[in-house]
Amino acid sequence: MDTRRPGAEYIGRVTTTPVSAPLTSGTPLSLYVLGRESDPRSERGVECPGDLPPASDPSLVERARRAKAALGERLFVLGHHYQRDEVIQFADVTGDSFKLAREAAARPDAEFIVFCGVHFMAESADILTAPNQKVILPDLAAGCSMADMARLAQVEDAWDVLADAGVADVTVPVTYMNSSADIKAFCGEHGGVVCTSSNAKSVLDWAFARGEKVLFFPDQHLGRNTAVLQLGMSLDDCVLYDPHQVDGGLTADQLRAAKMILWKGHCSVHGRFSPEAVDDVRVRMPGVQVLVHPECQHEVVLKADLVGSTEYIIKAVEKAAPGSKWAIGTELNLVKRLAAAHPDQEIAFLEQHVCYCATMNRIDLPHLVWALENLAQGHVVNQITVDAKTEHFAKIALQRMLDLPGETAKD
């Protein structure tokens, strides 16, 4: 995706309710302190078992090296672009979530896939790897707040709302890669598909060839930006389904008139970049090119010069001429690494008030050392497994994406 243009709304909300609240329409999400409490339905708030080495231990790097060497070819470490430097130095390959899942699938001899990323990514890796391969997430509290914004019970409720409005039969569900395995399975079972930020346009073309409408989740911004900027829809073609309101806060007539039914979810990092930050950086850095991820608000994307996936952002900087000036709107760890790798360019972080992805940063060196040393000692810890039925249908949704022309060659 590499376009720029038109304007919409952004709404984010966090509410507090008891942990035991049922997950139905109209029920707000629970708020947990990371690393405390537990919620088996969520990617968040799960304690990491075992004794972690202290972060102050000066031998952590050496311990990680030793454990990795002891495991040898049995181990393959994946590092998402948004991970900390202290962790990414141990990655055998770096990439976005889908690239990493495919890299894991291409290493059938690796018994242990240690995924330095978040929970939904490890699930995808488990789905795409062989049954004998074990996928490990060093900290189980490394979830994704966006993935948590669309839960299976909520999506099933939404599908019932669409059926009551008489439009479920003509709607194709499309989920972003950043969703839990059971949501991908829902799409597989209901004629739908998975997309990434690189291929959202091709996937939506596929979906609209099969239905009149798309139910797109969990990220409203990727859905809106792709529909309006790449498929030429108007903002009026899009409606926002709020799982915390009765019937999504929409009338049956609104659902019947819409082409894109966007789920009210967003990324806690990319959703925070503001249009004002774009105006501000253009004043502070004359000649700057603003480069943002499509999970950013529509108004931000409209003001940017370039928009594209994480891999697109990396390639844009890599091929830029010395002296190029960039203000980049994506996760801070990646922007800092790009700046360090390209000292001949001027690379700034787009927004002063946006911080690291809190859940990605759960994976730190103590957790990595703890996981690697346990594996080296024969203890499999924090294994992520997807049950057979969920895997079956999630694979169908993933395969529909992989079968798109040219898809196998893409990042």
Contacts of residue 92, defined as CB under 8 A and 6 or more positions apart, other chains included, come to: 76, 77, 78
Q: How far is the CB of 287 from ligand SF4 (least distance, A)?
A: 29
Q: Which is nearer to ligand SF4, 148 or 391 (CB)?
A: 148
Q: How far is the CB of 2 from ligand SF4 (least distance, A)?
A: 20
Q: How far is the CB of 256 from ligand SF4 (least distance, A)?
A: 31
Q: Which is nearer to ligand SF4, 319 or 353 (CB)?
A: 353
Q: Which is nearer to ligand SF4, 248 or 294 (CB)?
A: 294
The three state secondary structure string of the chain is CCCCCCCCCCCCCCCCCCCCCCCCCCCCCCCCCCCCCCCCCCCCCCCCCCCCCCCCCCCHHHHHHHHHHHHHHHEEEEEECCCCHHHHCCCCEEECHHHHHHHHHCCCCCCEEEEECCHHHHHHHHHHCCCCCEEECCCCCCCCHHHHCCCHHHHHHHHHHHHHCCCHHHEEEEEECCCCHHHHHHHHHCCCEEECCCCHHHHHHHHHCCCCEEEEECCHHHHHHHHHHHCCCCHHHEEEECCCCHHHHCCHHHHHHCCEEEECCCCCCHHHCCHHHHHHHHHHCCCCEEEECCCCCHHHHHHCCEECCHHHHHHHHHCCCCCCEEEEECCHHHHHHHHHHCCCCEEEECCCCCCCCCCHHHCCHHHHHHHHHHHHCCCCCCECCCCHHHHHHHHHHHHHHHCCCCHHHCC
Q: Which is nearer to ligand SF4, 219 or 247 (CB)?
A: 219
Q: Which is nearer to ligand SF4, 107 or 119 (CB)?
A: 119
Q: Among 287, 286, 304, which Cα is nearest to 296's?
A: 304
d(CA 36, CA 30): 13
Q: Which is nearer to ligand SF4, 211 or 329 (CB)?
A: 329
Q: How far is the CB of 120 from ligand SF4 (least distance, A)?
A: 8
Tell me the Ramachandran region of residue 15: left when phi exceeds 0, alpha when psi lies from -120 to 50, beta otherwise: beta
Q: Which is nearer to ligand SF4, 122 or 158 (CB)?
A: 122
Q: How far is the CB of 199 from ligand SF4 (least distance, A)?
A: 17
Q: Which is nearer to ligand SF4, 250 or 267 (CB)?
A: 267
Q: How far is the CB of 262 from ligand SF4 (least distance, A)?
A: 16
Q: Which is nearer to ligand SF4, 43 or 391 (CB)?
A: 43
- For Cα atoms 134, 84, 359, give the angle at the middle one, nearest 5 degrees: 70
Strands of the sheet containing 93-95, edge to edge, are 93-95, 75-80, 112-116, 134-136
Q: How far is the CB of 357 from ligand SF4 (least distance, A)?
A: 3
Q: How far is the CB of 291 from ligand SF4 (least distance, A)?
A: 16
Residues that bind ligand SF4 (CB under 6 A): 82, 118, 144-146, 178, 267-269, 331, 357, 359-360
Q: How far is the CB of 344 from ligand SF4 (least distance, A)?
A: 28
Q: Which is nearer to ligand SF4, 269 or 314 (CB)?
A: 269
Q: How far is the CB of 43 from ligand SF4 (least distance, A)?
A: 9
